[in-house]
């Protein structure tokens, strides 16, 4: 096996110790029948906004500050700030998020132990360990399967939207296939006009759209000759759907100029900020899963300079999103999940070639959850004094994803349609033999 896949011995050891210390629950989706039936009855969440901090944000420089760990560990960030929840402190640059800490909970004990981007992203987003013949779908694809067209979703906008670019090198859909593939908008919502690739055209007038569509219909000789062929029928249906978006209501949803200027300013006129605003508009329309891919968190070099630039953007966009969702009564039905694939090395790498950078760190990292049935104002778990290992209450990616599925009313024991007919469940079963801290009942 190449390096990425194997859980390091260090992780296996520490994971084992943690397991022993906390009386680990062996995960078995079937064992949560009680919680499941309860959550199904309530099923408070309707949509998910996934804020994906691709590259791995530094947990100690965001939501798990360790001001007393010494400058070898803290770098310049030694003054975390208090939030509007007693006892919760976060990085000093997150001033807006500090004002709304009652709306979200911080998980400081996320762990999977993997330090390779692709593999860690796979683990975090699928809630499965890699290996074997099954390439699992990500949470967005699973939610789309259970909340999308097959589950009665009638929206014009595709049920799974990525703002603005796919992560790449990661199959969101795994074995579920293109049916649940996300629609990536392309374009930049911070521009004057958000040119959503395929939906909003920069240069074609509506009249010309109509004209050339008619021309296409008249010249589509093979389609006319074979109009009963199932391929041709499907091709025509897809075209009709496409034009509903191009010329119908679809494009209006992507028109950010319909929002008030001061609200747009609150989100920040950045790509990230306006993506957050766009995400709110989408869940308002009932879109079940929206991913905001925020890049640039892989800060091997110039770590602290990058943080000073990126944290205020994150702070503004995310805080505005939480407030706006809450003001509109959408937060109760919308899960906001903020995470990268791992954290970063606790000790600052001052030596060349890094000169003040942080490397990949899978043993412990932080995630933030809000809304959709997750309580706000809590901290789940803890890392050790230098944010290097889980100290208390490990939360594995599958624990978090299972919690989200429960809030969404998706049965963690439900079968996923595998093309070769294998028995694959939404959440890991006992046979898969994964360690677990159990779902996040304490904040649900």
Partner 1 sequence: MRDMQRSTDRTQRNRSGLPSNPAQAQSERRAPSKASTSSMPELIQPFELSEESAPRSKLDELTFAHWRRAGVTPARPCSDAVFLRRAYLDLTGTLPSTEEARAFLLDTTPDKRARLLDALLARPEYASYWSLRWGDVLRIKSEFPINLWPNAVQAYHRWVYAAMQSNMPYDRFVRAMLTATGSNFRVPEVNFWRAVQSRDPESLARAVALTFMGVRAERWPRQRLQGMAAFFAKVAYKKTLEWKEEIVYFDPRLEAPSLRGVAPTFPDGKPARIPPGTDPRAVFADWLLASGNPWFAKSAVNRYWYWLFGRGIIHEADDIRPDNPPCNPALIPYLEKEFIASGYDVRKLLRLITASATYQLSPVPRGKRTAGDTCFASYPLRRLEAEVLIDAIDQVTGSMESYSSPIPEPFTFVPESERTIALADGSITSSFLDLFGRPARDNGYLSERNIAPSAAQRLHMINSSHIQRKLEQSVVLRGILRSRLPRQVVTQLYLTILSRYPTSGEMATALEYLRTGGLNGGLDLAWALLNSAEFTYRH
3-class DSSP state of 165: coil
Interacting span for partner 1 (CB under 8 A) from 31-39, 207-215, 345-353, 360-368: 207-215
Cβ-based nearer residue to partner 1, 42 or 179:
179
Which H or E run includes 16?
Answer: helix 9-22
Between residue 121 and residue 160, which ones bind partner 1 under the rule CB under 8 A? Answer: 122, 130-133, 135, 158
Interacting span for partner 1 (CB under 8 A) from 228-236, 269-277, 311-319, 378-386: 228-236
Interacting span for partner 1 (CB under 8 A) from 177-185, 318-326, 380-388, 399-407: 177-185
Nearest approach, Cβ of 200 to partner 1 (angstroms)? 8
Angle at the Cα of 401 from the Cα atoms of 398 and 402, rounded to 5 degrees: 80
Q: Which one of residues 245, 321, 330, 424 is an interface residue with partner 1 (CB under 8 A)?
A: 245
CA dihedral 440, 334, 271, 162 (to 10 degrees): 90
For every residue of 257-297, DSSP letters joined together read: GGS-HHHHHHH-SSHHHHHHHHHHHHHHTT-SEEEEEE---
Examine residue 178 and tell whether it contacts partner 1 (CB under 8 A): yes
Question: Six-digit token pair at 242?
Answer: 């496409």
112 with 127: CB under 8 angstroms? no
Q: How many residues bind partner 1 (CB under 8 A)?
A: 65
Examine residue 258 and tell whether it contacts partner 1 (CB under 8 A): no
Examine residue 1 and tell whether it contacts partner 1 (CB under 8 A): yes
Q: Which one of residues 34, 152, 228, 258 is an interface residue with partner 1 (CB under 8 A)?
A: 228
CA dihedral 396, 397, 401, 402 (to 10 degrees): -30
Examine residue 177 and tell whether it contacts partner 1 (CB under 8 A): yes
Examine residue 396 and tell whether it contacts partner 1 (CB under 8 A): no
Q: Which one of residues 110, 139, 184, 335 is an interface residue with partner 1 (CB under 8 A)?
A: 184
Q: Which one of residues 8, 22, 78, 165 is an interface residue with partner 1 (CB under 8 A)?
A: 165
42 with 284: CB under 8 angstroms? no
410 with 146: CB under 8 angstroms? yes
For every residue of 17-85, DSSP letters joined together read: HHHHHHTPPPP-GGGGHHHHHHHHHH----EEEEEEETT---GGGTTS--TTS-HHHHTT----EE-SS
Examine residue 20 and tell whether it contacts partner 1 (CB under 8 A): no
Alpha helix segments (H runs only) across 153-270: 206-219, 221-225, 230-247, 250-253, 261-267
Nearest approach, Cβ of 51 to partner 1 (angstroms)? 21
Examine residue 70 and tell whether it contacts partner 1 (CB under 8 A): no
Q: Which one of residues 87, 152, 168, 352 is an interface residue with partner 1 (CB under 8 A)?
A: 168
Contact residues: partner 1, CB under 8 A:
1-2, 4-5, 117-119, 122, 130-133, 135, 158, 165-166, 168-171, 177-178, 181, 183-184, 186, 195, 197-199, 201-204, 208-209, 211-212, 215-216, 218-226, 228-232, 234-235, 238-239, 241-243, 245-246, 419-420
């Amino acid at each position: 096996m190449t390096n990425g896949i194997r859980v390091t011995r260090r992780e296996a050891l520490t994971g084992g110790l943690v397991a022993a210390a906390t009386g680990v629950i062996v995960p078995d989706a079937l064992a949560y029948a009680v919680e499941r039936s309860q959550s199904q009855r309530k099923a408070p969440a309707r949509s998910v906004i996934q804020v994906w901090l691709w590259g791995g944000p530094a947990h100690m420089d965001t939501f798990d500050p360790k001001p007393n760990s010494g400058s070898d560990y803290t770098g310049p960030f030694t003054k975390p700030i208090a939030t509007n929840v007693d006892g919760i402190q976060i990085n000093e640059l997150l001033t807006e998020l500090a004002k709304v800490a009652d709306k979200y909970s911080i998980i400081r004990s996320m762990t999977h132990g993997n330090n390779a981007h692709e593999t860690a992203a796979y683990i975090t987003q699928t809630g499965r360990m890699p290996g074997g013949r099954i390439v699992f779908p990500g949470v967005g694809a699973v939610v789309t399967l259970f909340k999308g067209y097959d589950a009665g979703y009638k929206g014009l906008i595709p049920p799974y939207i990525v703002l603005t670019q796919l992560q790449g090198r990661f199959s969101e859909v795994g074995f579920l296939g293109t049916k649940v593939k996300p629609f990536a908008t392309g374009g930049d919502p911070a521009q004057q006009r958000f040119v959503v690739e395929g939906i909003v055209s920069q240069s074609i007038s509506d009249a010309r759209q109509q004209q050339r569509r008619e021309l296409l219909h008249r010249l589509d000789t093979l389609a006319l000759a074979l109009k009963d062929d199932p391929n041709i029928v499907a091709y025509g249906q897809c075209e009709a759907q496409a034009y509903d978006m191009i010329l119908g209501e679809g494009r209006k949803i992507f028109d950010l100029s319909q929002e008030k200027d001061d609200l747009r300013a609150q989100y920040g006129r950045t790509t990230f900020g306006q993506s957050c605003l766009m995400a709110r508009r989408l869940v308002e329309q009932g879109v079940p899963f929206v991913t905001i891919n925020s890049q640039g968190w892989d800060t091997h070099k110039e770590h602290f300079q990058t943080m000073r630039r990126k944290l205020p953007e994150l702070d503004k966009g995310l805080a505005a999103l939480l407030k706006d969702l809450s003001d509109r009564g959408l937060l109760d039905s919308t899960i906001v999940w903020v995470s990268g694939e791992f954290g970063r090395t606790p000790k600052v790498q001052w030596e060349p070639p890094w000169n003040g950078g942080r490397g990949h760190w899978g043993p412990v990292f932080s995630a933030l959850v809000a809304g959709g049935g997750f309580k706000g104002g809590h901290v789940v778990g803890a890392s050790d004094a230098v944010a290097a290992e889980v100290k208390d209450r490990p939360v594995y990616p599958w624990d978090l994803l299972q919690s989200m599925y429960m809030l969404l009313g998706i049965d963690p024991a439900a079968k996923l349609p595998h093309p070769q007919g294998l028995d694959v469940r939404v959440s890991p079963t006992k046979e898969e033999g994964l360690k677990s801290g159990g779902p996040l009942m304490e904040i649900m």
